[in-house]
Amino acid sequence: MTTMTQTSARFREFKMPDVGEGLTEAEILKWFVQPGDTVTDGQVVCEVETAKAAVELPIPFDGVVHELRFSEGTTVDVGQVIITVDVAPGSDEEAPAPAPVQEPVEAAAPVSEEPKGRTPVLVGYGVAESSTKRRPRKGAAAPEAAAVAVAVQAELNGHAAPAVPEAPVDAPPAGGPLAKPPVRKLAKDLGIDLATVVPTGKDGIITREDVHAAASASAAVAPSAQAPSVSEPVVAAAVEVTSSARETRIPVKGVRKAIAQAMVGSAFTAPHVTEFVTIDVTRTMKLVAELKEDKEMAGVRVNPLLIIAKALLVAIKRNPEVNAAWDEVNQEIVQKHYVNLGIAAATPRGLIVPNIKDAHDKTLPQLAGALGELVSTARDGKTSPAAMAGGTVTITNVGVFGVDTGTPILNPGESAILAVGAIKLQPWVHKGKVKPRQVTTLALSFDHRLVDGELGSKVLADVAAILEQPKRLITWA
């Protein structure tokens, strides 16, 4: 199903969809069409960034673009109309007046306000009805514009100046302004005192656009040496932040916000245990060199990560209990009879963990091809939310940064994560003599609710044994 409404027989609206896993908002990164352009069913009209990834949105009907409701860089709630299309150009029906394009830093129609009966709909993923994110607030009326002026908040390096308190009759008991947590966070990052912001949202709720409008007004006002009196609504004069500022504040959103929430949730939910082993991988490096010359591996990338991934899959086959998940609601351990192998990938938008579906069933050439496709897609920022869902275990290769090892945090919902350190030439006792050998350190973190020390040790020992003697890929598989 698609996210769209029909305002008339001629003009149809396309709403911001939930592109997966119950996301509530997305930022418009780029428009690929402009008013007057002809579009066809399935044509990509814009690219948006969610908390998971950048996603291209296709339009579900033919026509001519009538208006774009939001400009690039604007964060839009799921269910908001983002584009209107004339599906019957040339007809006699009068076109509705275009709504003003909502800019990310200008006052505009409230993005957070919703039409009644809002139903978030997915593009290609089905329908997910929910109203828990949009409870109407009662008893709080919007203050009259004449009583509240657009104030300027002075701030340098995130330290806000004291605000003149507002005390409207219909204010909540605490006397604070009405705003959702993301809006409060945005105001804090921009140095805006919410008590001085004119709300335009329903029931007096302050929206993102209200905060951006206050920030824009703040930047436009020159610094003033005169302190305002108590009766004045202006809090303080704007302080210019020069290029020599000692701090830079970056709003937490998109992938970075998702990473933070996931890591905090994992670290304080699953009891982590990490074990380490240092091994001689000289034979594995020789195998990698031989496979690069093998005609069966032509066209795919062969590197140590490929052999490490295969070694982990064999270790899981020998110790299947490690491939499990903890079901807190039903108080059950869910053992997985498949392996969706996650690969941590650093991208310009932050760390993501796409996974190779059913990696346990793949041959070595198939696994190499899947790894190459996963990495290239991630670097291009085209990884879909579906590609990051359903992982069971993960590999993170910190060795590419020259790091020996680390204590990796579990990807939420998974049982184990293997960190691979840098492979270095080091002195090593081999056949009774000290020789230069290729050496690396592995670290395995696991959820101690699911994996006992014995089981975790067996898995790590099996991976190490395979990398020391790669022929075990044949004898153990």
360 is catalytic: no
CA distance 61 to 456: 53
Choose among 406, 469, 417, 460: nearest CA to 280: 469
Task: Return the number of other C-beta atoms located less than 10 Å from residue 340's C-beta.
Answer: 21
CA distance 459 to 313: 10
Residue 334 phi, psi (nearest 5): -100, 110
User: In this structure, are residues 153 and 241 in contact, taking their beta carbons and an 8 Å threshold?
Assistant: no
Rounded to the nearest 10 degrees, the angle between the axes of helix 364-379 and helix 304-318 is 120
User: In this structure, are residues 16 and 79 in contact, taking their beta carbons and an 8 Å threshold?
Assistant: yes
Handedness of CA 156, 162, 167, 171 (dihedral sign): positive
CA distances 266 to 60, 123, 129, 181, 435, Å, are: 38, 29, 27, 22, 42
User: In this structure, are residues 303 and 288 in contact, taking their beta carbons and an 8 Å threshold?
Assistant: yes
CA distance 69 to 113: 14
Which one from 212, 337, 430, 448 is the annotated catalytic residue?
448
Question: Which residue bears the tokens 């004045």?
Answer: 232
CA distance 321 to 323: 5
Task: Return the number of other C-beta atoms located less than 10 Å from residue 469's C-beta.
Answer: 14
Which residues are designated catalytic? Answer: 448
